[in-house]
Structure 1
Amino acid sequence: MRSLTDNKTAVALFAGVTLVGALSACSSPATSSTDSGSTDATAPDAAATGTEYADGTYTESGDYTSPNGPEKVDVTLTLASDTITDVTVVGYGENPNSIQFQGEFIDGIANEVVGKNIDELSVDKVAGSSLTSGGFNNAVDAIKADALAQ
């Protein structure tokens, strides 16, 4: 029995050492990729290899909710080398407040986004209109998906 116990101990010890070795081999690349940041690592690669999004003009709708209920804006962006070169927003507000805030947003949005990289957009309030930006951002997300699919 003692030799069987010794064999079991040896096998268990070998398995433990093998497991520790395998785990430490796996942990080294994970630590390395964590240091560089897997999300951040893809962005420089995309920039180094060229345009991530296909150049062109894209139009999408974005929905949002205001105190007056559901609202919608259509957003048209023109992209060149991932940079927004032109923007057009069409609002569909029916309530006087919605019409006013969408109009203010539409009048000020070009100053906020033209000349910026589409991935660097962070529109939260334009000319006093904060809710319209929700619809705008939803449309931009859809445009990004369209431009990647090209």
Structure 2
Amino acid sequence: MTDLNKKIATAAMLGLSAGVVLIGCSSPNGTDASSSASASRSAVPTTSGSGYVDGTYSADGEYGTQDSSIGVTVTLDQGVITRAEVAPHATNETSRDFQNRFAQAAPKAVEGRPIDDVQLDGLAGSSGTPDGFNDALDTIRAAASR
């Protein structure tokens, strides 16, 4: 990280950030499910040519037929995911178990990879939750695009 990026990141931690809200995104399964994302920018655009603004972004991803969703937060540095968190939203015990296992495995599967190279499927025994993750990541890509 350059000295300029460190200074900007420090300024962002002090509360100097910008926000974006996206509404009405469609899910990857073609339904009209709405998802929303809020994105905060913790640094100025990089000059690396990644096409993404460095920062931390969050989105809820929809999947399945029972209004299932998960929360996803990623930190981007030059288009690479440097940190990832997944927040389960399920209330059903079985769904919550799948989401919790996915939430523990997902960061290891995506951290250190370019955001454009990430498309998860069948991770930690969960076949549906990755669809929600991918939906949230699509929303984050849109929010982080220059």
Equivalent residue in structure 2 for 1:99, among 91, 96, 99: 96
- Size of the aligned set, in residue pairs, is 100
Percent sequence identity over aligned pairs: 38
Among 48, 56, 80, the alignment partner of 1:83 is 80
3-state SS of 1:75 partner: strand
Q: Secondary structure at 2:67's aligned position in 1?
A: strand
Which residue number corresponds to residue 71 of structure 2?
A: 74
Could you list the runs of 5+ residues in structure 2 that have no partner in the other structure? Answer: 1-46
Matched, 1:61 2:55: no
Provide the C-alpha distance between the structure 2 equivalents of 1:80 and 1:102, rounded to a whole number of angstroms. 26
Runs of 4+ in structure 1 over 6 Å off: none
- In proportion to residue count, which structure has more helix? 1
CA distance in 2, matches of 1:140, 1:92: 16
Give the unaligned 5+ runs of structure 1: 1-47
- Could you tell me how far 1:50 is from its partner in structure 2? 1.6
TM-fit CA distance, 1:91: 0.9
**1:110–1:49 CA distance, 2 compared to 1 (3 A):** closer
TM-score, normalized by length of structure 1? Answer: 0.64
* Partner Cα distance (1:49, 1:81) in 2: 6
Q: Which has the larger radius of gyration?
A: 1
Deviation for aligned residue 1:49: 6.1
Residue number among 131, 139, 143 corresponding to 1:146 in the alignment: 143
CA distance in 1, matches of 2:57, 2:48: 23
Residues 42-93 of structure 1: per-residue CA shift (max 9 Å, x gap): xxxxxx9622100000001101116xx2211110000001000000111111
TM-score (norm: length of structure 2): 0.65
Structure with bigger strand share is 2
Query: What CA distance in whole angstroms lies between the structure 2 residues aligned with 1:64 and 1:51?
Result: 28
